Structure 1
Amino acid sequence: MAESLLFGVAESFIEKLASVAVEKASLTLGVYDNLQEIKNTVSLIKAVLLDAEQTQWQNHELREWLKQIKRVFYDAEDVIDDFECEALRKHIINTSGSIRRKVKRFFSNSNPLVYRLKMVHQIKHIKERFDKVAADRLKFGLQINDSDNRVVKRRELTHSYVNDSDVIGRKHDKQKIINQLLLDSGDSNSLSVIPIVGIGGLGKTTLSKAVFNDKSLDETFSLKMWVCVSDDFGLKNLLLKILNAASVSGSATGPNPIHQANYTNHDLNQLQNHLRNEIAGKKFLLVLDDVWNQDRVKWVELKNLIQVGAEGSKVLVTTRSHSIAKMMGTNTSYILELKGLSPEDSLSVFIKWAFKEGEEKNYPELMKIGKEIVQKCGGLPLALRTSGSSLFLKVDVEEWKFIRDSEIWNLPQKEDDILPAIKLSYDQLPSYLKRCFTCFSLFQKDFTFTNMDVRMLWEVLGVLLPPNRGKTLEGTSIQLLQELWSRSFLQDFVDFGGGICTFKLHDLVHDLAVYVARDEFQLIEFHNENILENVLHLSFIKNDLLGVTPVPTGLRTMLFPEEANDKAFLKTLASRCKFLRLLQLADSKYESLPRSIGKLKHLRYLNLKNSKELKSLPNSLCKLQNLHTLDLDGCIELQTLPNGIGNLISLRQLVITTKQYTLPEKEIAKLTSLERFDVTYCDNLETLLFEGIQLSNLKSLYIHSCGNLKSMPLHVIPNLEWLFITNCHKLKLSFHNDNQIPKFKLKLLTLRSLPQLVSIPKWLQECADTLQTLAIVDCENIDELPEWLSTLICLNKLVIVNCPKLLSLPDDIDCLPKLEDLSIYDCPELCRRYQAGVGRDWHKISHIKQVKFHCL
Structure 2
Amino acid sequence: MAESFIFSIAESLATKIASRAYEEASQVVGVYDDLQELKSSLSYVKAVLLDAEQKQEQNHQLREWLKQIKLIFNDAENVLDQVDCETLRNQVIRDYGTPKDKVGRFFSSSNPLVFRYKLALQIKDIRKRLDRVAADRDKFGLQVIDVDRRVVHRREMTYSHVVESDVIGRAHDKEKIVKLLMEPSLDNNGDSKHISVIPIVGIGGLGKTTLAKLVFNDERIRESFPMKMWVCVSDDFDIKQLIIKIINAVTVSGANSADALVAQQTLRDMDIEQLQYLLRNKLTGQKFLLVLDDVWSEDRAKWVELRSLIRIGGDGSKIVVTTRSHSIASMMGTVPSHDLECLSLEDSLSLFVKWAFKEGEEEKHPNLVTIGKEIVRKCRGVPLAIRTLASLLFSKYDINVWESLRDDEIWNLPQKKDDILPALKLSYDQMPSYLRKCFSMFSLFPKDFDFQTRHVLSLWSALDLLPSPSKNETSFDVANRYLSELISRSFLENVCDLGTHYYFNIHDLVHDLALYVAKDECLVISSESQNIPKNVLHISFFEFDMFLKSFKPSLLGVRTIAVPTEEHIGIGDNNEDLFPTWVLNCKYLRYLDLADSTFEILPRSISKLKHLRYLSLRDNGRVKKLPASICNLQNLEELNLSGCVELQTLPEKLRNLINLRRISITTKQFVLPEDDLANLCLLERLHIYECDNLESPFVGVKLPTLRFLWITRCKNLKSLPLDKHHFPQLEQFVVDECVKFELSDGHEDMNSVLRLKALFFCMVVNFPRSLHGYANTLQTLVFLRCYELEALPEWLLNMTSLKFLHIWSCPRLLSLPSGIHCLKALEVLRIERCPRLYRKYQPHVGEYWHQISHIKHIQILQ
User: Normalization by structure 2: what TM-score?
Assistant: 0.68
Partners of 1:728 and 1:463 lie apart in 2 by 36
Deviation of residue 213 (structure 1)?
11
The amino acid that maps onto 1:611 is N
Aligned match of 2:434? 432
Aligned match of 1:84? 84
Q: Secondary structure at the match of 1:663?
A: coil
The amino acid that maps onto 2:82 is D
Partners of 1:708 and 1:567 lie apart in 2 by 34
Partners of 1:519 and 1:442 lie apart in 2 by 13
The amino acid that maps onto 1:559 is A
Aligned match of 1:34? 34
Aligned match of 1:708? 716
Aligned match of 2:457? 455
Aligned match of 1:514? 515
User: Is 1:544 matched up with 2:545?
Assistant: yes
Residues 564 and 590, structure 1, Cα contact 8 Å, conserved in 2 = no
Aligned match of 1:194? none
Query: Compared with structure 1, are the counterparts of its residues 798 and 211 closer, same or farther at alpha carbon in structure 2 (3 Å cutoff)?
Result: closer
Partners of 1:605 and 1:701 lie apart in 2 by 19
Aligned partner of 2:640 among 631, 635, 640: 631
Aligned match of 2:134? 134
Size of the alignment, in residue pairs?
Answer: 651
The amino acid that maps onto 1:131 is D
Residues 389 and 424, structure 2, Cα contact 8 Å, conserved in 1 = no
Aligned match of 2:343? 207
The Cα offsets for residues 63-109 of structure 1, whole Å up to 9 and x where unpaired, read as 33222211111111111111111111111111111112211112212
Deviation of residue 713 (structure 1)?
1.1
Query: Compared with structure 1, are the counterparts of its residues 458 and 834 closer, same or farther at alpha carbon in structure 2 (3 Å cutoff)?
Result: closer
Deviation of residue 831 (structure 1)?
8.1
User: Is 1:17 matched up with 2:17?
Assistant: yes
Residues 724 and 749, structure 1, Cα contact 8 Å, conserved in 2 = yes
Q: Secondary structure at the match of 2:622?
A: coil
The Cα offsets for residues 467-491 of structure 1, whole Å up to 9 and x where unpaired, read as 5666543223222212222222222
Aligned partner of 2:659 among 650, 653, 662: 650
Aligned partner of 1:604 among 613, 617, 620: 613
User: Is 1:664 matched up with 2:688?
Assistant: no
Q: Secondary structure at the match of 2:536?
A: coil
Q: Secondary structure at the match of 2:719?
A: coil
Between 1:570-579 and 1:602-611, the stretch displaced more is 570-579
- 1:35-184, aligned counterparts within 5 Å? 35-57=35-57, 59-149=59-149, 170=170, 172=172
User: Is 1:677 matched up with 2:677?
Assistant: no
User: Is 1:698 matched up with 2:698?
Assistant: no
- 1:235-384, aligned counterparts within 5 Å? 288=373, 290=375, 319-320=387-388
Residues 769 and 795, structure 2, Cα contact 8 Å, conserved in 1 = no
Query: Compared with structure 1, are the counterparts of its residues 287 and 687 closer, same or farther at alpha carbon in structure 2 (3 Å cutoff)?
Result: same
Residues 205 and 289, structure 1, Cα contact 8 Å, conserved in 2 = no
**Gap runs ≥5 in structure 2:** 152-167, 177-202, 209-339, 378-384, 398-410
Q: Secondary structure at the match of 1:567?
A: coil
The amino acid that maps onto 1:320 is T
The amino acid that maps onto 2:446 is Q
Aligned match of 1:748? 758
User: Is 1:619 matched up with 2:619?
Assistant: no
Residues 447 and 508, structure 2, Cα contact 8 Å, conserved in 1 = yes
Deviation of residue 323 (structure 1)?
5.1
Q: Secondary structure at the match of 1:320?
A: helix
Residues 556 and 586, structure 2, Cα contact 8 Å, conserved in 1 = yes
Partners of 2:833 and 2:495 lie apart in 1 by 25
Q: Secondary structure at the match of 1:750?
A: strand
Residues 8 and 434, structure 2, Cα contact 8 Å, conserved in 1 = yes
Partners of 2:415 and 2:845 lie apart in 1 by 58
Q: Secondary structure at the match of 2:577?
A: helix
Partners of 2:103 and 2:511 lie apart in 1 by 53
Q: Secondary structure at the match of 1:117?
A: helix
Q: Secondary structure at the match of 1:776?
A: strand
Query: Compared with structure 1, are the counterparts of its residues 426 and 827 closer, same or farther at alpha carbon in structure 2 (3 Å cutoff)?
Result: closer
Residues 22 and 80, structure 1, Cα contact 8 Å, conserved in 2 = no
Residues 758 and 783, structure 1, Cα contact 8 Å, conserved in 2 = no
Query: Compared with structure 1, are the counterparts of its residues 529 and 793 closer, same or farther at alpha carbon in structure 2 (3 Å cutoff)?
Result: same
Aligned match of 1:532? 533
Query: Compared with structure 1, are the counterparts of its residues 322 and 714 closer, same or farther at alpha carbon in structure 2 (3 Å cutoff)?
Result: farther
Residues 486 and 492, structure 2, Cα contact 8 Å, conserved in 1 = yes
The Cα offsets for residues 810-845 of structure 1, whole Å up to 9 and x where unpaired, read as 554332212345566788998898888999877655
Aligned partner of 1:818 among 816, 819, 825: 825
Residues 538 and 559, structure 1, Cα contact 8 Å, conserved in 2 = yes
Deviation of residue 32 (structure 1)?
1.7
Aligned match of 1:771? 778
Partners of 1:534 and 1:492 lie apart in 2 by 34
The amino acid that maps onto 1:18 is A
The amino acid that maps onto 2:30 is G
Q: Secondary structure at the match of 2:733?
A: strand
Partners of 1:535 and 1:457 lie apart in 2 by 16
The Cα offsets for residues 88-131 of structure 1, whole Å up to 9 and x where unpaired, read as 11111111111122111122122222222222222222222222
Partners of 2:829 and 2:51 lie apart in 1 by 52
User: Normalization by structure 1: what TM-score?
Assistant: 0.68
The amino acid that maps onto 2:583 is A
**Percent identity for Structure 1 against Structure 2:** 48
Aligned match of 1:555? 558
The amino acid that maps onto 1:452 is R
Q: Secondary structure at the match of 2:343?
A: helix
Partners of 1:50 and 1:102 lie apart in 2 by 47
Partners of 1:686 and 1:782 lie apart in 2 by 25
Deviation of residue 800 (structure 1)?
4.8
The amino acid that maps onto 1:633 is S
Query: Compared with structure 1, are the counterparts of its residues 825 and 603 closer, same or farther at alpha carbon in structure 2 (3 Å cutoff)?
Result: closer
Partners of 1:417 and 1:848 lie apart in 2 by 40
Query: Compared with structure 1, are the counterparts of its residues 171 and 726 closer, same or farther at alpha carbon in structure 2 (3 Å cutoff)?
Result: closer
Query: Compared with structure 1, are the counterparts of its residues 326 and 118 closer, same or farther at alpha carbon in structure 2 (3 Å cutoff)?
Result: closer
Structure number with the bigger relative contact order (C-alpha 8 A, sep ≥ 6) is: 2
Aligned match of 1:279? none
Query: Compared with structure 1, are the counterparts of its residues 169 and 571 closer, same or farther at alpha carbon in structure 2 (3 Å cutoff)?
Result: farther
The Cα offsets for residues 634-688 of structure 1, whole Å up to 9 and x where unpaired, read as 1111111122222111111101111111101221111121111111111111122
The amino acid that maps onto 1:793 is T
Partners of 2:174 and 2:795 lie apart in 1 by 49
Larger radius of gyration: 1
Residues 675 and 701, structure 2, Cα contact 8 Å, conserved in 1 = no
The Cα offsets for residues 29-56 of structure 1, whole Å up to 9 and x where unpaired, read as 3322221221122111011112223334
Partners of 2:102 and 2:530 lie apart in 1 by 48
Query: Compared with structure 1, are the counterparts of its residues 668 and 173 closer, same or farther at alpha carbon in structure 2 (3 Å cutoff)?
Result: same
Deviation of residue 511 (structure 1)?
1.5
Query: Compared with structure 1, are the counterparts of its residues 645 and 287 closer, same or farther at alpha carbon in structure 2 (3 Å cutoff)?
Result: closer
User: Is 1:759 matched up with 2:760?
Assistant: no
The amino acid that maps onto 2:475 is L
Aligned match of 1:725? 735
The amino acid that maps onto 2:698 is L
Query: Compared with structure 1, are the counterparts of its residues 116 and 323 closer, same or farther at alpha carbon in structure 2 (3 Å cutoff)?
Result: same
Residues 290 and 319, structure 1, Cα contact 8 Å, conserved in 2 = no
Query: Compared with structure 1, are the counterparts of its residues 324 and 768 closer, same or farther at alpha carbon in structure 2 (3 Å cutoff)?
Result: farther
Aligned match of 1:689? 698
Residues 148 and 432, structure 2, Cα contact 8 Å, conserved in 1 = yes
Q: CA RMSD in A?
A: 4.1
Residues 636 and 659, structure 2, Cα contact 8 Å, conserved in 1 = yes
Partners of 2:437 and 2:43 lie apart in 1 by 19
Between 1:467-476 and 1:102-111, the stretch displaced more is 467-476
The Cα offsets for residues 235-291 of structure 1, whole Å up to 9 and x where unpaired, read as 9x987788xx8xxxxxxxxxxxxxxxxxxxxxxxxxxxxxxxxxxxxxxxx974548
Query: Compared with structure 1, are the counterparts of its residues 61 and 735 closer, same or farther at alpha carbon in structure 2 (3 Å cutoff)?
Result: same
Aligned match of 2:582? 573
